[in-house]
């Protein structure tokens, strides 16, 4: 890169600072990597013009360059510049590609509210109300933030741009104006209602529509209902994160439901029609004779139908044999009589256990 810096920028050796800057802006714009994606030649040219401008825009280094030519770096040690082209560029050009406005105009933050719902609401959908703060334009000052009868003044420190240029080494860098905090305006008499914010927060009741099939961590998003943006930036979003409270009867796994149903010893031993809860109310289910505690019965299609999956899952009913307690005299006598009648063939598990594990007979 032994090209002459003046030649690179296309200016004469007597070019003024303004002329250098103008030439650089033009070339940097033309060769900027954003405008020539994947074009390594223009990227090289971009670096070349930036390096040339860096040197020539600094009066001390320009003097050295004029005196020693390309070898001037040897006298300066050569280090410490042109290795941060990106930084230099973004600082010099903060206002060149419209980045200034992006920095000042800030999108509001998202607001996140958790909402606990019961399983039935999660499965079937429904509507719930949630009280949330909502930013509204302050009517007293019509959103300007200035007391009625007064108006915001253009910041005299930055002239309304919200930025101040400061000399940092060889560069002129833009900094957020500390006087108006980047707003570009000064409100000397703030509105008493909104304290100068231009908006006020009101508790509002949000009707949250819960879609059928909602689950833990389902997020409902309300665009633009979050915190208001700064300086005309868009408002953030309001997000409601759903949490499904544990249900006393049903457990859910995806589209399948699980529940335990207690039965008596006689229902399990003799077989019975028992009542079982489902999402659509109770149904009758046949328990065959000799049903063991813990056996699972499947009710097809009695699970959950989510909106994106129209096929409902199944309900899995676990039959749990409840051993009777607080027996009546009569029941105790009958059970004792039953005990005397018990035969090893009626209890194959127990019989095998006693024979093979305990090594006892009978
Ligand atoms: Zn200012
Ligand atoms: Zn106000």
pLDDT over 60 at 317, yes or no: yes
Verify that 208 and 167 share a domain, yes or no: no
Paired strand residues for 244: 117
Residues of the chain with pLDDT > 70, as a percent, come to 86
The CATH number of residue 311's host domain is 2.60.260.20
Q: What is the pLDDT, as a whole number, of residue 330?
A: 95
22 φ, ψ to 5°? -65, -45
Q: Rounded to an integer, what distance in angstroms lies between the CA atom of residue 9 and that of residue 28? A: 10
Q: How far is the CA of 55 from the centre of ligand 2 (A)?
A: 50
User: Residue 309: pLDDT band by 50, 70, 90 thresholds?
Assistant: low
308 has pLDDT over 80 = no
Q: Give the pLDDT band (50/70/90) at residue 274.
A: very high
Residue 99 lies in a domain: no
pLDDT interval class at 171 (50, 70, 90) = confident
User: Does residue 98 belong to any structural domain of this protein?
Assistant: no
100 located within any domain: no
How far apart (Å, rounded) are the C-alpha atoms in residues 283 and 42? Answer: 75
CA of 178 relative to ligand 2 center, distance in Å: 23
Mean pLDDT of the chain: 82
Total domains in the fold of the chain? 5
Q: Which residues of 263-298 are buried (b: 16+ CB within 10 A; e: fewer)?
A: beeebbbeebebebbbbeeeeebebeeebeeeeebe
Q: What pLDDT, on a 0 to 100 scale, did the predictor assign at position 213?
A: 79
Residues 127 and 220 in one domain: yes
If you measure from the C-alpha of residue 187 to the centroid of ligand 2, how many angstroms do you get, rounded to a whole number?
11
284 and 339 in a single domain? The answer is no
Mean pLDDT of 97-120: 72
CA 171 – ligand 1 centroid, Å: 21
Phi, psi at residue 154, to the nearest 5°? -65, 135
CA of 156 to the centre of ligand 2 (A): 23
Nearest ligand by distance to the CA of 145: 2
Residue 91 phi, psi dihedral angles, 5° rounding:
-75, -45
Give the rounded distance of the alpha carbon of 180 from its chain centre: 31
How many angstroms separate the alpha carbon of residue 298 from the centre of ligand 1?
71
Q: Estimate the crossing angle of helix 40-56 against helix 59-68, to 10 degrees.
A: 100
Enter the tokens of residue 90: 């973004």
* 213 CB neighbour count, 10 Å cutoff: 18
Q: What is the mean pLDDT of residues 299-307?
A: 83
Ligand lying closest to the C-alpha of residue 157: 1
The answer, yes or no, to whether residue 69 has pLDDT greater than 80, is no
In terms of Cα–Cα distance, which of 255, 256, 259 is closest to 213?
Answer: 255
Q: For residue 141, is it within any domain?
A: yes
- Give residue-wise pLDDT tens across range 18-42: 888 888 888 887 887 677 777 778 7
Ligand lying nearest the CA atom of residue 174? 1
Position 230 scores a pLDDT of: 62
Neighbours of 59 (CB within 10 A): 10
pTM of the model: 0.51
Q: Which domain holds residue 348?
A: 334-362
- The Å distance, Cα 101 to ligand 1 centre, comes to 14
pLDDT at residue 71 in the model = 63
228-256 pLDDT tens trace: 776 567 788 889 999 999 999 999 888 89
| CB distance 94 to 100 below 8 Å | yes
Looking at the structure, tell me whether residues 165 and 63 fall in a common domain: no
Q: How many Cα atoms within 13 Å fall on the side-chain side of residue 333?
A: 3
What's the rounded mean pLDDT across residues 118-127? 87
The first and second tokens of residue 190, run together, are 């703030």
Asked if residue 241 and residue 123 are part of one domain, the reply reads: yes
* Ligand index nearest the alpha carbon of residue 194: 2
> How many whole angstroms from 180 Cα to the centroid of ligand 1?
4
Could you give the angle at the alpha carbon of 247 between the alpha carbons of 244 and 248, nearest 5°?
160
Q: Which ligand is nearest to the CA of 196?
A: 2
Q: Which residues surround ligand 2, an ion (CB under 5 A)?
A: 138, 140-141, 191, 193-194
Centroid of ligand 1 to alpha carbon of 100 (angstroms): 13
Contact 295, 269 (CB under 8 A): no
């Amino acid at each position: 890169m032994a090209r002459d810096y003046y030649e690179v920028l296309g200016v004469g050796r007597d070019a003024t600072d303004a002329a250098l800057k103008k030439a650089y802006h033009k070339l940097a714009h033309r060769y900027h990597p954003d405008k020539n994606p994947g074009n390594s030649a223009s990227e090289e040219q971009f670096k070349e013009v930036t390096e040339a401008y860096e040197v020539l825009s600094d009066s001390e280094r320009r003097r050295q360059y004029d005196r020693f030519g390309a070898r001037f770096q040897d006298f300066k040690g050569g280090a410490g510049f042109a290795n941060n082209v990106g930084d230099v560029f973004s600082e010099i050009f903060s206002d060149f590609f419209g980045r200034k406005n992006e920095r000042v105009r800030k999108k509001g933050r998202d607001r996140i509210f958790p909402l606990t719902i019961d399983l039935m609401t999660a499965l079937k959908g429904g509507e719930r109300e949630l009280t949330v703060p909502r930013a509204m334009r302050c009517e007293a000052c019509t959103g300007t933030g200035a007391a009625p009868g007064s108006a915001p003044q253009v910041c005299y420190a930055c002239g309304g741009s919200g930025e101040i240029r400061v000399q940092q080494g060889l560069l002129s860098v833009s900094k957020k104006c500390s006087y108006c905090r980047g707003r570009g305006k000064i409100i000397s008499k703030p509105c008493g209602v909104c304290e100068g914010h231009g908006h006020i927060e009101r508790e509002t009741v949000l009707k949250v529509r819960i879609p059928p099939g909602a689950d833990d961590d389902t997020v409902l998003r309300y665009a633009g209902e979050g915190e208001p943006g700064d300086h005309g930036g868009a408002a953030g979003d309001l997000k409601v994160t759903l949490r499904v409270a544990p249900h006393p009867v049903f457990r859910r796994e995806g589209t399948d439901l699980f529940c335990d149903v207690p039965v008596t010893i006689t229902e399990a031993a003799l077989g019975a029609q028992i009542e079982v809860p489902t999402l659509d109310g109770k149904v009758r289910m046949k328990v065959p004779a000799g049903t063991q505690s813990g056996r699972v019965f499947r009710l097809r299609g009695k699970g959950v139908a989510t909106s994106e999956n129209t096929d409902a899952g199944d309900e899995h009913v676990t039959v749990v044999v409840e051993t009777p307690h607080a027996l009546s005299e009569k029941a105790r006598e009958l059970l004792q009589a039953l005990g005397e009648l018990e035969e090893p063939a009626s209890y194959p598990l127990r019989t095998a256990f006693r024979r093979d594990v305990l090594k006892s007979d009978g």
